Amino acid sequence: MTETTLTPQQLAETCADAMFSRDHASQGLGMRIQSVAPGRAVLSMTVREDMVQGHGNCHGGFIFALADSAFAFACNTYDEATVASGCSIDYLGPGQLGDVLTATAEERSRRGRTGIYDITVRNQHGQEVALFRGRSYKIRGTVRRLEETAAESQA
């Protein structure tokens, strides 16, 4: 399939596949891509024992990592390499051992080289655990070209 025949949905899925194949951090934390669409991504992660902090809850850094990964996949669905320029998170409730946390990232604005994305993290009961807002910045290159470059350097 040539680039000109890809629908926006197919492009988003192709970009997600290319990024996830290189994303050892998200893979190592057990994250799974549930869905992607242009400007949107849904990722999930099960809270493991090694993610629990001294108060018996999921460490906030792991919740942040899940939200940040969903943000990254959402803002890279257009095959334009995009990175975070800033973000903030508000924790609303704890994640518990065994919880399945789901981060839903949604594009709010995308103009020129910048974008704004809101990410909601919920547990398997639909309770909000965190709200994350990310600001993106488009850099040079494409998501899929990075995949080709990585493959060429390993050959």
d(CA 82, CA 53): 32
pLDDT at 145: 73
pLDDT at 78: 96
pLDDT at 149: 45
d(CA 147, CA 155): 13
pLDDT at 5: 87
pLDDT at 1: 46
Q: Which pTM was predicted?
A: 0.90
d(CA 129, CA 91): 6
Compute how many other C-beta atoms are within 10 angstroms of the C-beta atom of residue 89.
Answer: 17
d(CA 85, CA 147): 22
Are 103 and 42 contacting, i.e. CB atoms less than 8 angstroms apart? yes
d(CA 120, CA 102): 8
pLDDT at 3: 52
pLDDT at 48: 98
Could you tell me which residues come within 8 angstroms of residue 118 by beta carbon, excluding any fewer than 6 positions away?
Answer: 105, 106, 108, 131, 132, 133
Tally: H helices and E strands in the chain: 4, 6
- Picking from 119, 88, 96, 95, the residue whose alpha carbon sits closest to that of residue 106 is 119
What does the pLDDT profile of the chain (155 residues) look like in tens digits? 445 689 999 999 999 999 999 999 999 999 999 999 999 999 999 999 999 999 999 999 999 999 999 999 999 999 999 999 999 999 999 999 999 999 999 999 999 999 999 999 999 999 999 999 999 999 999 998 754 544 444 44
